[in-house]
């Protein structure tokens, strides 16, 4: 009865003006969390303007975090929220106005985006945009060729870090978890990308040089921006808290050792993107973050030598 009532609430709450969204990849908790925020009108954090109507399961059998969850979350979407499961990404095209590419594994994102682009609808691509710089650039190139708006972001961009952004910043240290996943060639894309997004939220684009030192327990990436700011990303393994210190002019600083976040602001930004077709984070900023991570990996391979960002 409870499941039926929740699904009924979702159906009643949807309006003719709501955008219909489809999910690609049910192997992440984001699939259920985003759907609950959009479809459950009884949720205090409910966001209007869109709701999830269909999903393609996807999944990566060689990654435990994907294989062990894909069916579980798909069943939750279907039974709890009345989401229609489809056999192919192309089956989503006539059912939706926009797509959420949620696959937890970044490797299939390029192939999945190629299929999604055939729908001609805007696409939100959850972190990571891709598992390599080359795939990230290929997604952008294909999107331009086919005139497909895309937007990618971590939920950490919409955390307490937003309140720490200031033109008086001269430097910053951000930290967060940095677990690795063997199949991701650009290793920071698996989880370290969250902390990279935090640094870019503070500084914006304009990084010119990156160094990285790596040990089994941590990574330390230090980067110089063209305006002279110095930023450091400290990644801890296997896990740790998110936090930041921003150094300001006149020997002042702003510190937040335990940054909190929720998915709600990100979902709100996604709905805004679906309505306007304008990404909340410019695509060139997202691509620069991939150049940043690529430079960091090249630096680590060269024993910590400074590397410029690829053009």
- 117 and 166 assigned to the same domain: no
Q: What pLDDT, on the 0 to 100 scale, is given for residue 210?
A: 98
- Asked if the model's pLDDT at residue 17 lies above 90, the reply is no
- 129 and 219 assigned to the same domain: no
- 198 and 121 assigned to the same domain: no
The pLDDT tens digits for 67-120 are 999 999 999 999 999 999 999 999 999 999 999 999 999 999 999 999 999 999
- 12 and 31 assigned to the same domain: yes
- 97 and 179 assigned to the same domain: no
- 43 and 68 assigned to the same domain: yes
The pLDDT tens digits for 206-229 are 999 999 999 999 999 999 999 999
Token match 């620069």: residue? 288
Residue 133 lies in a domain: yes
- Asked if the model's pLDDT at residue 5 lies above 80, the reply is no
The pLDDT tens digits for 226-270 are 999 999 999 999 899 999 999 999 899 999 999 999 999 999 999
How far is the C-alpha of 45 from the C-alpha of 105, rounded, in Å? 27
Q: Which domain holds residue 88?
A: 2-154+265-276
CATH number of the CATH domain containing 18 = 3.40.50.720
- 192 and 113 assigned to the same domain: no
* Helix 29-39 and helix 70-81, axial crossing angle in degrees, nearest 10: 10
- 70 and 120 assigned to the same domain: yes
Domain count across the chain: 2
Q: In whole angstroms, how far apart are CA 201 and each of 3, 113, 261?
A: 39, 25, 14
Q: Does the reported pTM lie above 0.85?
A: yes
- 13 and 85 assigned to the same domain: yes
């Amino acid at each position: 009865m409870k499941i039926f009532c929740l699904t009924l609430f979702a159906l009643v709450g949807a309006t003719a003006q709501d955008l219909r969204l489809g999910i690609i990849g049910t192997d992440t908790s984001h699939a259920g969390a985003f759907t609950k925020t959009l479809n459950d009108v009884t949720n205090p954090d409910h966001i209007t303007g869109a709701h999830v109507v269909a999903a393609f399961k996807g999944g990566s059998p060689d990654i435990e975090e994907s294989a062990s969850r894909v069916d579980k979350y798909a069943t939750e979407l279907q039974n709890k929220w009345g989401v229609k499961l489809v056999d192919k990404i192309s089956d989503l095209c006539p059912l939706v106005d926009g797509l959420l590419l949620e696959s937890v594994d970044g490797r299939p994102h390029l192939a999945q985006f190629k299929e999604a682009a055939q729908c001609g609808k805007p696409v939100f691509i959850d972190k990571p945009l891709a598992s390599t710089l080359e795939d990230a650039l290929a997604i952008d190139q294909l999107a331009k060729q086919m005139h497909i708006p895309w937007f990618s972001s971590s939920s950490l961009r919409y955390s307490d870090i937003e309140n720490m952004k200031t033109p008086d910043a001269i430097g910053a240290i951000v930290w967060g978890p940095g677990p690795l996943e063997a199949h991701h060639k650009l290793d920071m894309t698996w989880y370290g990308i969250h902390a990279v997004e935090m640094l870019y939220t503070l500084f914006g684009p304009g990084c010119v040089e990156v160094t990285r030192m790596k040990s089994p327990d941590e990574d330390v990436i230090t980067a110089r921006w063209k305006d002279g700011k110095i930023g450091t990303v400290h990644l801890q393994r296997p896990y740790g808290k998110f936090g930041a210190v921003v150094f300001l002019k006149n020997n002042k600083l702003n510190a937040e050792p335990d940054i909190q976040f929720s998915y709600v602001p990100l979902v709100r930004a996604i709905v805004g993107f679906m309505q306007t077709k304008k990404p909340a984070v410019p695509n060139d900023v997202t691509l620069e973050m991939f150049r940043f991570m690529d430079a960091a990996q090249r630096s680590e391979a060269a024993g910590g030598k400074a590397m410029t960002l690829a053009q």
